[in-house]
């Protein structure tokens, strides 16, 4: 195993942590989180095991879409600090072994951005063609809106411009026209600016929409929309060689493949577009599997994952900052998940998702919560955590829409959860209350509790980082076994291999496994090429072992490659395949 490879392609075994500066830590007690407050909490992230910090938008904003309506791509919102504070964050994070990436939101701007103000002022404005306009009345586009509870179409009439402008999202977020080479150059300047200040890459918002206009104009200088993404990746790589583009591409697998740069479907492209893509398909199938207590949907999703370029990676997640979208499920499947995890209409959003966090969805059952995060960390890919997941925060359904899961971080059991000393009315958002409020769920208490979710996840993330096969495996090998509730899969990279078992059901089971590469004849010490498999770590040195890396114990495979593993209800096992002569630490 060439462990040095994990330093070159660092993103393949990273631990990514997403947060909104505005709701993380308020250091000047004005009610809004800020960059100095985040710097004060970097040691919490380092102790947790985070290696890459993803910042939601911190740019100046009209603040009508929680920062995603940007008025200046080159600034820092003064409520949060200034550019100097951001540089101090990047420098201090680097000292703790944490890279920093940020949201790149260039599908649209705020309607208060100077570009749009100029564009609407005159047809002769140099920024007019920065946006998408039409003068004829558009046809009905209700079926194209992203937020059906807020918009009834994607075109809005502008009195000053005397034209219609397009907005895939809210009407106060006009779409940028990426068919205009000047727009693409402006986006490259944004990327180059923040890379120069020390960012290690970007999470790219709404990638398919960002590419939608590129190459659509006869006056454009590219022939295919993906050329824009390739050019952006190439530009960033020239500026900072190990930077990443982590893209939001909520599409079926066969379409996601294109955004890695694999246009001939053979998985062998050099990976010259996005570095990582979120695996929305497996995430949604995981929730269907949890709702049914049947691992089948997730197992099938893992089988269906296409081969991807060597340098590319899937980003896996349980929750993120948006609604828990279920748009890739059928209507009946979505109804199953709604019934299990969000039966009240107030828990649902846009008819396609849930505005809840995981622990309340699982009724606060610590067995189920830990099983799900264990499952996350064993799926081939890079795990992405959303702030508060490490302590089991819940949502606040009193907040509007997606803000239900973007409540202030809960640091202590004190007022406002230790987020701020400002009066509650001045906070950037309402603190969660009830059984998941800060008096019951907070960092300070869990730091001192050896049995807490926080301490458990710290340990699990250490094990994940020690097992690069979990991140580097090209795909999950689904192992045959008879229990529908159990997902048994194996991740292998070079000479490292891990068997992971997860029980999605409440009943204890005994899982029979057979590893074909562990079969040997009686008295045979194993294949000379070192492809044997498993056994108890205390056994003789001619047998391959399955060693539990989360607790003491292990299993010896028989000469026929078979073994039986006991698994409690909602239980999990990480079993490292240890071959004769292995020098890996256990």
DSSP for 104-155, written as a single string: E--SB--TTSHHHHHHHH-TT-TTGGGB-EESSPPPP-GGG-S-TTT-S-SE
- Note whether residue 154 is domain-resident: yes
DSSP 432: P
Residue 41: inside a domain:
no
Q: Per the domain annotation, does 192 fall within a domain?
A: no
pLDDT the model gives residue 519? 80
Confidence band (pLDDT; 50, 70, 90) for 539?
A: very low
- Across residues 549-571, what is the average pLDDT? 94
Quickly list DSSP for 155-166: EEEETTTTEEEE
Please choose, from the candidates 571, 79, 515, the residue with its C-alpha nearest in 3D space to the C-alpha of residue 370. 571
> CA triplet 145, 146, 148: central angle to 5 degrees?
70
In a domain, 570, yes or no: yes
- Categorize the per-residue pLDDT at 260 as very low, low, confident or very high, splitting at 50, 70 and 90: very high
Q: What percent of the chain has pLDDT over 90?
A: 88
Residue pLDDT, tens place only, 109-146 = 999 999 999 999 999 999 999 999 999 999 999 999 99
Residue of higher predicted confidence among 542 and 461: 461
Q: Tell which of 150, 166, 182 closes a domain.
A: 166
Predicted local distance difference test score (pLDDT) of residue 585: 79
CATH assignment at residue 487: 2.60.40.1180
Q: What share of the chain is helix, strand, coil (3-state, %, to 5)?
A: 35, 15, 50
- Residue 569's pLDDT band, with cuts at 50, 70 and 90, is very high
Strand pairing partners for 100? 53
Which of 98-107, 223-232, 258-267, 535-544 shows the lowest per-residue confidence on average (mean pLDDT)? 535-544
**pLDDT surpasses 50 at 421:** yes
List the single range of 92-101, 253-262, 497-506, 523-532 with lowest mean pLDDT: 523-532
Q: What residues make up the domain containing 573?
A: 474-578
* Greatest distance between any 2 Cα atoms in the chain: 87
CATH of the domain at 137: 3.90.400.10
Report the pLDDT value the prediction gives residue 531, as an integer from 0 to 100.
38
Q: Is the confidence at residue 520, as pLDDT, over 90? A: no
Question: Averaged over 159-163, what is the pLDDT?
Answer: 97
Q: What average pLDDT is seen over the chain?
A: 94
Tokens of 501: 């078992």
Residue given tokens 């995060």 in the structure block: 373
Q: Is residue 517 included in any domain, yes or no?
A: yes
Q: What is the mean pLDDT of residues 479-484?
A: 98
Model pLDDT, residue 270? 62
Active-site residue, from 65, 151, 205, 294? 205
Give 304-348 pLDDT, tens digit per residue.
999 999 999 999 999 999 999 999 999 999 999 999 999 999 999
Average pLDDT over residues 43-71: 98
* Residue 563 forms part of a structural domain: yes
Higher pLDDT, 559 or 127: 127
In a domain, 553, yes or no: yes
Query: How confident is the model over 233-237, as a mean pLDDT?
Result: 97
Cβ proximity of 253 and 278 under 8 Å: no
pLDDT for 580 beyond 90 = no
Q: pLDDT confidence of 534, banded at 50, 70, 90?
A: very low
| Active-site residue, from 248, 262, 323, 390 | 248
Residues 254-275 as b/e (b if ≥16 CB within 10 A, e otherwise) read: eebbbbbbbeeeeeebebbbbb
Rounded to an integer, the average pLDDT of 277-298 is 98
**Per-residue pLDDT, 350:** 93
Query: Considering the domain boundaries, does residue 279 fall inside one?
Result: no
What average pLDDT does this structure show over 272-280?
A: 97
Residue 269 pLDDT exceeds 80: no
Question: Which of residues 132, 166, 200 is at a domain's end?
Answer: 166
What are the phi and psi torsion angles at 163 (to 5°)? -160, 165
- Catalytic site includes residue 220: no
Q: Is residue 205 annotated as a catalytic residue, yes or no?
A: yes
Q: Quick check: 516 pLDDT over 60?
A: yes
Length of the chain: 586
- Decide if 242 contacts 312 (C-beta within 8 A): no
Band of residue 438 on the pLDDT scale cut at 50, 70, 90: very high
Residue 520 CA to its chain's centroid (Å) = 41
pLDDT on residue 264 = 77
Average pLDDT of the segment spanning 401-416: 98
Counted domains in the chain: 2
496 SS3 class: strand
This prediction's pTM = 0.95
Please tell me the predicted confidence (pLDDT) of residue 533.
37
- Burial of 135 from C-beta contacts in 10 A (0-12 / 13-18 / 19+): exposed
Pair of tokens at residue 478: 């689904």
Q: What is the DSSP string of 166-214?
A: E-SS-TTSPBB-TTSHHHHHHHHHHHHHHHHTT--EEEETTHHHHHSST
Cα three-residue angle 60-64-67, rounded to 5 degrees: 40
Which among 105, 36, 119, 11 has a CA at the least distance from the CA of 65?
105
């Amino acid at each position: 195993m060439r462990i040095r490879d994990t330093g070159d392609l660092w993103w393949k075994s990273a631990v990514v942590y997403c947060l909104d500066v505005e709701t993380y830590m308020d250091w000047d007690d004005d009610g809004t989180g800020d960059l100095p407050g985040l710097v004060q909490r970097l040691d919490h992230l380092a102790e947790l095991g985070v290696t890459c910090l993803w910042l939601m938008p911190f740019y100046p904003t009209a603040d009508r879409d929680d920062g995603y309506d940007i008025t200046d791509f080159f600034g820092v919102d003064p409520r949060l600090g200034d550019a100097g504070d951001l540089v101090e964050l990047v420098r201090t994070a680097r000292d703790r072994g944490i890279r920093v990436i940020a949201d790149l939101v260039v599908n649209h701007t705020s309607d208060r951005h100077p570009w749009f103000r100029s564009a609407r002022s005159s047809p002769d404005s140099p920024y007019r063609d920065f946006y998408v306009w039409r003068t004829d009345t558009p046809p009905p586009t209700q079926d194209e809106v992203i937020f059906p509870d807020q918009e009834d179409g994607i075109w809005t009439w502008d009195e000053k411009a005397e034209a219609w402008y397009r907005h895939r999202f809210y009407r106060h977020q006009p779409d940028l026209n990426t068919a205009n080479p000047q727009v693409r150059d402006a986006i490259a300047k944004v990327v180059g600016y923040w890379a120069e200040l020390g960012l290690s890459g970007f999470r790219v918002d709404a990638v398919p929409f960002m590419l939608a206009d590129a190459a659509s104009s006869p006056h454009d200088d590219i022939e295919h929309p993906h050329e824009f993404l390739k050019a952006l990746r190439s530009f960033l790589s020239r500026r900072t060689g190990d930077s990443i583009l982590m893209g939001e591409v909520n599409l079926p697998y066969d379409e996601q493949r294109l955004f890695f740069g694999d246009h001939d479907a053979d998985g062998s492209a050099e990976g010259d577009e996005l570095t990582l893509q979120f695996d929305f398909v497996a995430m949604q199938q995981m929730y269907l599997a949890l709702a049914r207590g049947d691992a089948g949907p997730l197992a099938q999703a893992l089988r269906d994952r296409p081969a991807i370029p060597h340098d590319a990676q899937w980003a896996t997640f349980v929750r993120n900052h948006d609604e828990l979208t279920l748009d890739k499920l059928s209507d009946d499947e979505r109804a199953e998940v709604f019934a299990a995890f969000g039966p009240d209409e107030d828990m649902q959003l846009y008819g396609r998702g849930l505005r809840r966090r995981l622990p309340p969805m699982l009724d606060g059952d610590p067995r189920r919560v830990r099983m799900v995060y264990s499952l996350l960390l064993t799926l081939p890919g890079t795990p992405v955590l959303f702030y508060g997941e490490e302590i089991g925060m819940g949502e606040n359904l009193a907040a509007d829409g997606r803000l239900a899961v973007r409540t202030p971080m809960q640091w202590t059991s004190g007022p406002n959860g230790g987020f701020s000393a400002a009066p509650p009315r001045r906070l950037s958002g309402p603190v969660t209350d009830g059984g998941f409020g800060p008096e019951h769920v907070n960092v300070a208490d869990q730091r001192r509790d050896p049995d807490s979710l926080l301490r458990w996840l710290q340990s699990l993330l250490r094990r994940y980082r020690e097992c690069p096969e979990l991140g580097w495996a090209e795909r999950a090998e689904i192992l045959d076994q008879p229990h529908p509730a159990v997902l048994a899969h194996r991740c292998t990279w070079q000479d490292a291999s891990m068997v992971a078992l997860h029980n999605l059901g409440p009943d204890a089971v005994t899982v029979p496994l057979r590893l074909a590469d562990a079969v040997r004849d009686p008295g045979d010490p194993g294949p000379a090429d070192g492809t044997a498999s498993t056994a108890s770590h205390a056994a003789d040195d001619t047998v391959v072992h399955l060693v539990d890396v989360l607790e003491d114990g292990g299993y010896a495979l028989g000469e026929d490659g078979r073994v039986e593993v006991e698994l409690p209800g909602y239980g999990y096992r990480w079993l490292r395949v240890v071959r004769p002569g292995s020098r890996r630490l256990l």
